[in-house]
Structure 1
């Protein structure tokens, strides 16, 4: 199309020249009396005809050339489009092949592995659920509890760790049990102390609202003569830096207000289930060094959530600082480590 536009100017020039020649021819011939008027008109007509033919021939030639250029441009564009489409098709095929290969790998490797992991997780969870149901049933029958007991697991202690605690209460018949944290476990241990024929439980709770709920729960089971919930806000203590493996950590700088513990003596069992993990690293460490001087010779400390690395490291510190202690790992859903003096 650009070629047609470029050819338009020469055609106009040629047409203008022909027009001038036609206009000038009669006048020139008449001036020189070379031809008659009729001959001049005939000559003019011939000139016009020849000029028109020449202009038409030139236009045809120009048009043919422009058409050739347009045809070449069309072929070039067609070739470019075809090559582009070919590359896109090739890239699409390669992408589809890569996707197909990933799907095949997923089908042959990842899906079977994922299926095995899901089956293993379901099996493990099923085994945990069964073991907790057995522990709950054994506790309920052994303690002759009320028909509707507070739920366990989750934030509360699991039935299997309570079974460990009740076993120690039956064996030791402690005069005093201390629990860091309160709630459902306080009720269950209250029933265990009642069945053992004596003793009392002091549950230490840092959250005021939760302490009130625990007191109401204990009263609803008629255990407020056995179980006491003491509110002890978390207060500042001196944080220390300790080595855990290859890591240097700063321990929690808050623990329970120890003023609520000052009157406690002759402690025979301690259940360490607080403060919460969010308090800081090794948040439960102070329980043993703080209470051990107030305990009986055959005291037992039970540390809950012992499958967590932090709790295991706490136990390692206790053993390193008190070599007279011995650790036993009780089978429990969330892990439970039992500490007692050697030979007891």
Structure 2
């Protein structure tokens, strides 16, 4: 608006000057100083002169504007060039950093990762081989049915099952208790049948899974040897002793084992780890008073931190227990009683 007002004032001034000039020429012509033709000619010359002057003025203004615009364009171009130059420098620095990191990875990380992968692959390969060997030895020794439930994964691994079968063959226990049930219950049933007698009581906290285990036992014709008992998890209280207060945690309902005596072998493979911290600890305080003097207890998954802690607590809380580790995929620890 300010620019428009300025231009209108300039145009009004020019028009006023032109009108004044025409009025002067008309007065001169009227008084006879100039002829009308001369007055008209002078007016035309004045209009041409004014147009030329206006054009010159506009040219000067345009030239100034162009110069200003040119300077602004130059300044903007320098700014853009500097910005591009800075960005290019940053890009170059980033690329250099990436190249250096890639060199470091090639020189340090890749060899380390490759070595760790090779070690893991070799270890897995040895484990797979050992489990296959143990599986074949179990089948050759027990001569079970052609279609046996698979081991490993959630189930006990073949190597720990081979350890249990060997203990059954050496000790001929009359009563075996298993904390947990499933594929291992069938394999242990075959081991007891081969040893010439004995019973297996498997404790299972999940009622649906207990029925599945019973059906598996029936399918193999082992229900005269193996009994799967549903023992839901209930609160078990560890009595206070020394500086330790009484503590409670979930474990199998102890009424499921009240009729058991002279247990010769205990396989501790439950409750599941997610049940509680050190979920398997109550097995020894609950079952050992019901065990024979020469009973053996086997803890599966002994390589896990929780099970290592449980093992240490058992040995500390029950001085008559001694422990030894057995090589197994998931770790196994065997506990026996020693004379005090």
TM-score normalized by the length of structure 2: 0.91
2:46 and 2:12 map into 1 onto residues whose CA distance is 17
Find the residue that maps to 2:234 and give its secondary structure. Answer: strand
| Superimposed CA distance per residue, residues 111-139 of structure 1 (whole angstroms, 9 cap, x where no aligned partner) | 22222221111111110000000011111
| 1:263 is the counterpart of 2:259 | yes
Measure how far apart 1:147 and its partner are: 1.5
| Superimposed CA distance per residue, residues 221-276 of structure 1 (whole angstroms, 9 cap, x where no aligned partner) | 1111111111111112236899xxxxx9x976211111111111111000001111
Equivalent residue number for residue 312 of structure 1: 308
Pair 211,63 (structure 1): closer, same or farther in 2 beyond 3 Å: same
Retained in 1: the 8 A contact 2:235–2:248? no
Equivalent residue number for residue 162 of structure 1: 161
Find the residue that maps to 2:173 and give its secondary structure. Answer: coil
Retained in 2: the 8 A contact 1:232–1:260? yes
TM-score normalized by the length of structure 1: 0.90
- Unaligned 5+ runs, structure 1: 243-247
| Aligned CA-pair RMSD | 2.5
Find the residue that maps to 1:253 and give its secondary structure. Answer: strand
Equivalent residue number for residue 134 of structure 1: 133
Measure how far apart 1:80 and its partner are: 1.6
Retained in 2: the 8 A contact 1:190–1:223? yes
Measure how far apart 1:40 and its partner are: 2.0
1:172 and 1:335 map into 2 onto residues whose CA distance is 22
Equivalent residue number for residue 245 of structure 1: none
Measure how far apart 1:164 and its partner are: 0.9
Retained in 2: the 8 A contact 1:11–1:58? no
Retained in 2: the 8 A contact 1:236–1:255? yes
| 1:295 is the counterpart of 2:291 | yes
Q: What aligned pairs does 1:223-242 form with structure 2 within 5 A after superposition?
A: 223-238=222-237
2:330 and 2:255 map into 1 onto residues whose CA distance is 31
Pair 75,241 (structure 1): closer, same or farther in 2 beyond 3 Å: farther
Find the residue that maps to 2:144 and give its secondary structure. Answer: coil
Retained in 2: the 8 A contact 1:252–1:283? no
Measure how far apart 1:103 and its partner are: 2.0
Equivalent residue number for residue 270 of structure 2: 274
- Unaligned 5+ runs, structure 2: none
